[in-house]
Amino acid sequence: MRAHGGMRGLINSPDEKPKITWPLLKRVLQYARPYRTSLIAMLLLILASTGLSLLTPLILRDLIDNTIPNKDINRLIWLALALLTIPALNGGINVLQRQLNSRVGEGVIYDLRMALYARLQRMSLRFFTNTKVGEMMSRLNNDVVGAQNAISNTIVGIITQIVQAVAVLAVMLTLEWRLTLISVVIMPLFILAARLLGNRLRDMARKQMEANAQMNAMTNETLNIGGALLVKLFGRRELEVERFGQRAAQVRDLGIQRAVIGSTFMVIIGLISAVGTALVYGLGGYFVIQGSFSIGNIVAIGAYLGSLYSALQGLSNAPVEFATSMVSFERVFEVVDLPVDIAEQPDAEVLQDASGEIVFDRVSFHYETGDEHFLSTVHRYGSMENVTAVLSGTQQGAEEEEPALRSQARAAALEDISFRAAPGQLVALVGPSGAGKTTLTYLIPRLYDPTSGFIRIDGKDLRNVTLESLSAQIGMVTQETYLFHDSIRTNLLYARLNASQADLEAACRVANIHDFIQALPDGYDTIVGERGYRLSGGEKQRIALARVILKDPRILVLDEATSSLDSESEALIQDALAKVMAQRTSIVIAHRLSTILAADLILVIDRGRIVERGSHHELLAQAGLYASLYRTQFEKADM
């Protein structure tokens, strides 16, 4: 058991070696402050448990040296009862200590997770487009648990081991200082064994975790709905079974090697402990024969020896475990300290009863390429996020992957954009793919902030209104409709939490989706599946429209993507859109000629600039980019 504790410390030894500074420690201890009463109680329980543990060898010494030789029956009964009472008391203390420990540990986990999740929710869209979901999940799970270990396990463990080692050494020195010195002298042998086999054992454990990550990543890729469909369509079932078998065999072989090395390590540790025990009993026996030492003293020191070795070995691993916990805390603090791109002014005003006037005043927007607002790349052993080539099995460092992801963003997405949408007007955005239309729509609900210029609603700069009130005035339907893996009712209620069943049905009737929902076996309680996978594209879009209708915003922003829909779904959506946009200020990325013809203002965007503006007939007369787009896209689409 003692060897296992040493192995754990060696296996968890991180590559990162953080500088443990006082400011970092002070910040860590702030998370322990709310639980200081429980921590003090745990410390007292540690002292009580250690004191009780010291009594047992002394009782054994008295039994052997005094009680039994003197045939003292009463004393024998009392000492026997004491040997029964001490474990019972220690058991009760351990249960209470465990309860306090778990209360502190789970409380710290809760506090850290709440701080991280709240900070992540405040981050801008730019952060999420440049950060892996798996990295955020690792911060919320792995790093939070690792950080919690510093307070509830590592620090408490260090205190326990120090108290135990000091107390045991003091008692042993009182009993016989020569045997005590001999028992301590062999401690360097533990360190030597750890250096000889510890690194090898740690490397083997990491290889097994990496192999597990590859196997799990492949399982995740080929057993989700999309991957399973692809495997079946291309008839690759046998190939994938063979690939999985190769990865599973690698995990198996590494597990066997790790078990053998671990057992060897434990045997060596056991032999070293046996050397100490043999020396103590051998020299102690000699002292007994010489008449300068009692048998009871040998038994007592032998009993203390196990506790001493356990405490000293735990303390030898403490720096490694503490450094591991500090790494986790640093990763947690990195998220908590992330700067917020879309900040709310302290004196921001509430935007109420908006009429819907939107003004873009010389707005430019540049995608920043720096990484100061992102999470640092962390290699976690055993994480599927580090497996970049799932099927071929090749590995690439995350450092090579990031620049390729970020280079897709344009340096200047929008330049000098100025226009006005009067209350109730429909403004259509047209232009080639990648011209900046979607980016423009993302600026309206402050998913991004302009690099320069101003955006005003009813004459108020968006930076000077509260984010919640701005969101309440804007309804947005993106090209890729997202639905939670939940019921249709829950997805609709996300727009208005207190909406009644009548409100849901009214919104769905306007969106031309109520009859479809009613025909489902569970009606509005039907589960839509992950990302709405059980629904068609048209059905998802109409549910998304119903959700916006339920929100009842004054301003509507939508990507009118209908190219992938069948004619019936498209007709239903077009009819729903006409109802939704009525009496609302609408900014629409137009894909249909009917929308363009209904628009009060058409903005033609090319390479981030408004190159033409006007009505349909005015733009056709200019014979410019709009006329070209009309001939190649819109005219054919409505034929």
Whether residue 288 is predicted with pLDDT greater than 50 in this model: the reply is: yes
- Radius of gyration over alpha carbons of the chain, in Å? 35
* Model confidence, pTM: 0.73
DSSP string over 313-349: HHHHHHHHHHHHHHHHHHHHHHHHTPPPSSPPPTTPB
Give the mean pLDDT of 504-517: 88
Kindly list the distances between the CA atom of residue 230 and the CA atoms of 222, 226, 236, 532, in Å, as whole numbers in the listed order.
8, 6, 8, 19
Query: Does residue 172 contact residue 183 with C-beta atoms inside 8 Å?
Result: yes
User: Residue with structure tokens 């054992």?
Assistant: 201
In whole angstroms, what is the distance from residue 443 CA to residue 124 CA? 11
Tokens of 619: 């733009």
In whole angstroms, what is the distance from residue 143 CA to residue 307 CA? 32
Predicted pLDDT of residue 384: 60
- pLDDT band (50, 70, 90) for residue 388: low
Residues 6+ apart with CB under 8 A from 359: 419, 420, 421, 454, 455, 456, 457, 459
Query: Beta-strand (E) ranges in 259-386?
Result: 358-365
Predicted pLDDT of residue 406: 31
Query: Does residue 546 contact residue 540 with C-beta atoms inside 8 Å?
Result: no
Kindly list the distances between the CA atom of residue 511 and the CA atoms of 340, 479, 562, 631, in Å, as whole numbers in the listed order.
36, 16, 15, 31
Choice between 37 and 375, residue whose per-residue pLDDT is larger: 37
In whole angstroms, what is the distance from residue 593 CA to residue 318 CA? 70
Query: Does residue 601 contact residue 419 with C-beta atoms inside 8 Å?
Result: yes
Whether residue 148 is predicted with pLDDT greater than 80 in this model: the reply is: no
Query: Does residue 12 contact residue 321 with C-beta atoms inside 8 Å?
Result: yes
Q: Facing residues of 429 across strands?
A: 589, 603
Angle at 435 between CA 467 and CA 408, to 5 degrees: 80
Helix 73-121 with 295-336: angle, nearest 10 deg: 10
Choice between 377 and 130, residue whose per-residue pLDDT is larger: 130
Helix (H, G, I), strand (E, B) or coil at 292: coil
Neighbours of 475 (CB within 10 A): 25
Longest dimension (CA), the chain: 121
Whether residue 523 is predicted with pLDDT greater than 50 in this model: the reply is: yes
Q: Give the pLDDT confidence of 341-377 residue by residue, as tens digits.
A: 788 888 889 888 888 899 999 999 987 655 555 666 6
Contacts of residues 498-506 at CB distance under 8 Å and 24 or more positions apart, as own/partner, are 499/550, 503/550, 504/546, 504/550
Question: What are phi and psi for residue 432, nearest 5 degrees?
Answer: -65, 160
Give the mean pLDDT of 221-234: 80
Residues 6+ apart with CB under 8 A from 215: 244, 247, 248, 250, 251
Neighbours of 57 (CB within 10 A): 24
Whether residue 397 is predicted with pLDDT greater than 50 in this model: the reply is: no
SS (H, E, C) 8-20: HHHHCCCCCCCCC
Predicted pLDDT of residue 18: 53
Query: Does residue 531 contact residue 538 with C-beta atoms inside 8 Å?
Result: no
Q: Could you tell me which of 575, 570, 600, 572 has the C-alpha nearest to residue 588?
A: 600
For residue 284, the surrounding DSSP H or E stretch is helix 237-290
In whole angstroms, what is the distance from residue 337 CA to residue 107 CA? 21
Choice between 629 and 500, residue whose per-residue pLDDT is larger: 500
For residue 601, the surrounding DSSP H or E stretch is strand 601-606
**In order of start, what are the domains of the chain with their CATH numbers?**
2-336 (1.20.1560.10), 358-366+410-480+553-637 (3.40.50.300)
Query: Exposed e or buried b for every residue in 388-415, given b needs 16+ CB within 10 A?
Result: eebeeeeeeeeeeeeeeebeeeeeebbb
- Minimum mean pLDDT range among 182-186, 442-446, 554-558: 182-186
Whether residue 579 is predicted with pLDDT greater than 90 in this model: the reply is: no
Name the range with the highest mean pLDDT among 15-24, 405-414, 486-495: 486-495
DSSP string over 177-228: HHHHHHHHHTHHHHHHHHHHHHHHHHHHHHHHHHHHHHHHHHHHHHHSHHHH
DSSP string over 449-461: --SEEEEEETTEE
Q: Facing residues of 9 across strands?
A: none
Query: Does residue 38 contact residue 104 with C-beta atoms inside 8 Å?
Result: yes
Choice between 536 and 164, residue whose per-residue pLDDT is larger: 164
Question: What are phi and psi for residue 209, nearest 5 degrees?
Answer: -65, -40
Give the mean pLDDT of 511-536: 83
Predicted pLDDT of residue 14: 43
Neighbours of 374 (CB within 10 A): 18
Query: Does residue 426 contact residue 583 with C-beta atoms inside 8 Å?
Result: no
Tokens of 627: 């006329």
In whole angstroms, what is the distance from residue 569 CA to residue 567 CA? 6
Predicted pLDDT of residue 417: 92
Give the mean pLDDT of 547-563: 81
> Across the chain, what does the average pLDDT equal?
80
Kindly list the distances between the CA atom of residue 68 and the CA atoms of 74, 293, 499, in Å, as whole numbers in the listed order.
11, 17, 82
How many percent of the chain have pLDDT more than 70?
85
